[in-house]
């Protein structure tokens, strides 16, 4: 007699629990998304890193180990089967002619397209984890990688050698990262324009008027600042306060004020960016909100001194609507600071 397990809810819960164990054993945490609102995301992984503190206590070295949040999130969709079927078309598992991969069945192009919309709306990378409960083996793939999608339109391909275990996180943590090298930096030739509006006698006030005008609230006629990759960059009060805060060294403040115009030029012309610093995550009943910091860099050739690398720091606010996950909420990008990272004071 052939017995087929059709307890999809029970299988799904066991698959989630198995994936959760792997995530936690790897030092990370998983936050579930309310099942009543899930149409493509079961939860998100809070990526953490291990820290160690060494102390001498009573002539003995003691190592204290802890895990701390990095602020990075990875969305996760989990599918599972009680066992890999030998045949049949109703299972989530699809055997492929290419023995190096298998397919995960979403049953229709319409259903998969709806989930793809949700995955693209998430505030970070997102992966699919597939669990075989009989053999206790799981695999994963990047859902933002177009090569993960089968040409049939209703299934996702997973490489059989891409096993989901503690060793996977080295690769998973790199998803979505965009890095730059100094040799790839574009060169901006600074003319007098960005400096003409500054006043030597009252540098801070004239720089503030320029900054306000970049944000559309000053008297000077500047159009919106549109970055080729990120879109509109807003010049808000928070960026000004950050650059001129009381606990910042005076020469750093002066350097930033002089470079405000160059900072806007970099925002307009530099398409490549990288994520820096620890992100901040907030969650309400409806939203997951993530604040992260980005940098833009350029080689700047000044007409009055030696050239230098100038860096702009941006603050990006991303929101994901858990109740309406197919709703796309545009990112908001704010100017945060500008300075020369390698300049000696």
State pLDDT tens for residues 297-310: 999 988 777 888 89
pLDDT at residue 149, rounded to an integer: 95
Angle at 51 between CA 50 and CA 56, to 5 degrees: 140
Question: Sorting pLDDT into bands at 50, 70 and 90, what band is 192?
Answer: low
pLDDT at residue 5, rounded to an integer: 65
pLDDT at residue 65, rounded to an integer: 87
Contacts of 125 (CB under 8 A, 6+ apart): 74, 75, 142, 144, 172, 175, 176
pLDDT in tens, 315-329: 999 999 988 888 899
Closest CA to 236 of 163, 123, 160, 333: 333
Give the Cα separation of 140 and 167 in Å (integer).
Answer: 12
Mean pLDDT lowest among 35-39, 85-89, 166-170, 207-211: 35-39
Average pLDDT over residues 192-206: 74
Residue 86 CB neighbours (<10 A): 6
pLDDT at 344 over 60: no
pLDDT at 332 over 60: yes
φ/ψ of 331, rounded to 5, equals -65, 150
pLDDT in tens, 47-106: 998 888 888 888 888 888 888 888 888 999 999 999 887 765 567 888 888 889 999 999
Closest CA to 106 of 155, 139, 144, 141: 155
Per-domain boundaries in the chain: 8-172, 182-339
Average pLDDT over residues 231-246: 95
**Residues 244, 254: contact at Cβ < 8 Å?**
no
Mean pLDDT lowest among 4-8, 26-30, 177-181: 177-181
pLDDT at residue 24, rounded to an integer: 96
Write the class of the CATH domain 8-172: alpha beta
pLDDT at residue 54, rounded to an integer: 84
pLDDT at residue 88, rounded to an integer: 54
Average pLDDT over residues 188-207: 76
pLDDT in tens, 161-174: 999 999 999 999 88
Question: Sorting pLDDT into bands at 50, 70 and 90, what band is 2?
Answer: low
Average pLDDT over residues 25-33: 91
pLDDT in tens, 243-300: 999 999 998 999 999 999 999 999 999 998 888 766 788 888 899 999 999 999 999 9
pLDDT in tens, 127-184: 999 999 999 999 999 999 999 999 999 999 999 999 999 999 999 988 866 544 444 6
Give the Cα separation of 296 and 298 in Å (integer).
Answer: 7
pTM for this one? 0.73
pLDDT at residue 79, rounded to an integer: 94
pLDDT at residue 326, rounded to an integer: 86
Exposure pattern of 165-195 as b/e (b: 16+ CB <10 Å)? eeebbeebbebeeeeeeeeebeebebeeebb
pLDDT at 29 over 80: yes
pLDDT at residue 179, rounded to an integer: 46
pLDDT at residue 91, rounded to an integer: 77
The residue that leads in pLDDT, 36 or 301, is 301
pLDDT at residue 182, rounded to an integer: 46
For every residue of 3-59, DSSP letters joined together read -----HHHHHHHHHHHHHHHHHHTT-EEEEPPTTT-SS--EEEEEEEEEEEEEEETT
pLDDT at 6 over 70: no
């Amino acid at each position: 007699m052939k017995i087929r397990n059709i307890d999809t809810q029970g299988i799904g819960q066991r698959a989630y629990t198995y994936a959760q164990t792997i995530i936690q054993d790897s030092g990370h945490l998983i936050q579930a998304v309310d099942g009543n609102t899930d149409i493509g995301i079961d939860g998100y992984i809070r990526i953490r890193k291990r820290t160690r503190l060494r102390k001498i206590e009573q002539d003995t070295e003691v190592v204290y180990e802890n895990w701390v949040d990095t602020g990075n999130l990875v969305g996760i969709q989990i599918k599972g089967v009680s066992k890999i079927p030998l045949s049949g078309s109703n299972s989530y598992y699809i055997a492929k002619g290419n023995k190096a991969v298998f397919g995960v069945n979403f049953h229709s192009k319409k259903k998969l397209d709806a989930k793809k919309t949700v995955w693209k709306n998430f505030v970070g990378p997102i992966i699919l984890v597939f669990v075989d409960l009989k053999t206790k083996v799981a695999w994963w793939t990047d859902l933002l990688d177009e090569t993960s999608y089968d040409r049939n339109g209703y299934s996702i391909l997973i490489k059989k050698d891409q096993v989901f275990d503690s060793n996977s996180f080295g690769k998973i943590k790199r998803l979505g990262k965009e890095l730059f090298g100094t040799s790839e930096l574009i060169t901006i030739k600074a003319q007098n324009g960005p400096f003409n509006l500054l006043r030597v006698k009252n540098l801070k006030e004239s720089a503030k008027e320029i900054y306000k005008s970049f944000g559309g609230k000053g008297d000077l006629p500047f159009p919106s600042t549109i970055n080729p990759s990120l879109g509109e960059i807003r010049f808000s009060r928070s960026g000004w306060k950050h650059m001129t805060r009381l606990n910042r060294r005076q020469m750093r403040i002066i350097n930033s004020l002089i470079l405000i115009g160059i900072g806007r030029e970099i925002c307009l012309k530099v398409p490549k960016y990288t994520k820096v610093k620890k992100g901040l995550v907030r969650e309400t009943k409806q939203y997951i909100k993530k604040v992260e910091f980005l940098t833009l860099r350029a080689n700047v050739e000044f007409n009055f001194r030696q050239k230098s690398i100038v860096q702009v720091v941006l603050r990006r606010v991303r929101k994901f609507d858990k109740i309406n996950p197919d709703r796309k909420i545009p990112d908001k990008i704010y100017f945060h600071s500008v300075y020369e990272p390698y300049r000696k004071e």
